[in-house]
Amino acid sequence: MLCPNQAGAMGAAKRVQQWTAAVNNLLGSLHGHRVNALACFSFAMGLAGPGHSGKLVACVATDTKPARSRRRWERLWANARLEARPAMAELSASLLKPGSGRKLLRVLDQTPNGGDLRCMRLGVAYRKRLLSIAAECYPTDHAPLPMPKLIGKMLSKAAKLLPPDVQVTLLCDRGLSGPAVWTACGSWGGAT
């Protein structure tokens, strides 16, 4: 794989500028420096694929040293002004807005991260990718709510972001499906 900082003059800077403009359109309420950092981070994520932070930092499309990029992202994540939940809601609404009158495949998935952390994600399937529209991370043995309530809460919040006349199909692991999930799906109106 050829990362932008290794590719030299392959137009990486122009692609990052275009991506930054797109991220700014999706997250218009965030401060410009935060948008730039998030755009840089997400662009590197797309290039690096799955892996650890060292691999991610190596794919930053700038002339800066990897250690500087890592510190930049550490400051971003530690910044109390970056409120993840409102930013995720704004991103989700922006992603779902053009879906009016369409069919959406939503995916509910719980993913372990090592032995001590789990992430429950609700996303929309798009071009063989899952675009997260809601997520909850928690210790493996201590979910913030009982699982049926957590899933119902995520589905209800996401349902409020749906554009009009959308048909939703929910795909979830068999361990996550059950009466509480079906009840939450019924509250969507046209969900199957």
Q: Which two tokens stand for residue 34?
A: 């935060």
CA gap 93, 136 in Å, rounded: 17
pLDDT in tens, 25-41: 788 787 878 888 888 77
pLDDT in tens, 54-97: 666 777 766 777 788 778 778 887 888 878 788 888 888 887 77
Domain boundaries, the chain: 4-82, 85-186
Q: Which two tokens stand for residue 71?
A: 């510190």
| Tokens 């692609």 sit on residue | 15
List 170's β-bridge partners, or say none. 106
Q: Which two tokens stand for residue 88?
A: 């995720």
CA gap 96, 62 in Å, rounded: 31
| Tokens 């369409």 sit on residue | 102
Question: pLDDT at residue 160 above 60?
Answer: yes
| pLDDT confidence of residue 106 | 86
> Could you give phi then psi for residue 133, rounded to 5 degrees?
-120, -10
Q: What is the pTM of this model?
A: 0.68
* DSSP strands (E only) in 82-192: 103-113, 117-126, 129-139, 167-172
Q: Which two tokens stand for residue 22?
A: 């797109």
